Amino acid sequence: MNYKKIKFTLFFVVLLFLIPISINAQNFRDRKDQDFGKRWDRIEEFKKLKMIEELKLSDEESVKFYSKYNQLTSQFKEIETERRKAINDLEKIVNDPSRSAELEKKIDYIESLEQRMLNNRLTFMSEIRKILSLDKVARYIVFERNFQRELQRIVRDAKKPPFER
């Protein structure tokens, strides 16, 4: 096993202690518990540190990149909050045939939120291409995918009984 894989594995072992074993993957980010919010913030901070390391960002690149990254993250949180609320509203009326017009409006609204998220991501990618080299943009894309996969694996493993891990 190479050094990078060992470091990455060690990071995720540490995360296991930060994430409660009883986490349900669907409500992973929905928890209102302040303690969970603090854990999520620590994961985000660690992610940023790992990104600096993986992308080999200079100080100047780091400031510019994280300005854009934080803006994107903030936009996503806002849109995701709206999206969750809209889906909750949809759930309340989905079995009422007399509210089909309202269902259509809710579905259209959810689609518009999804489009906003996509547009924000595309704008972000366009903007970071102006800041970073193609190599670093590529590293960012690969890092995001790998980080999400590893986080999903940790959550999946945390849900397993201890004897299955």
Q: pTM of the entire structure?
A: 0.68
What pLDDT band is residue 24 in, cutting at 50, 70 and 90? Answer: very low
The identity of residue 131, as a single letter, is I
The residues spanned by each domain of the chain are 1-57+135-165, 58-131
- Report how far residue 82's alpha carbon sits from residue 86's, in angstroms, rounded to the nearest whole number: 6
pLDDT digits (tens, 9 = 90+) for 34-78: 666 677 778 888 898 888 889 998 889 989 999 999 999 899 989
Tell whether the model's pLDDT for residue 80 goes beyond 50.
Answer: yes
Supply φ then ψ for residue 29, to 5 degrees.
-95, -5
For 2-99, where are the alpha helices, taking DSSP H only?
A: 3-18, 34-55, 59-93
Q: What angle do CA 114, 119, 121 make, to 5 degrees?
A: 95
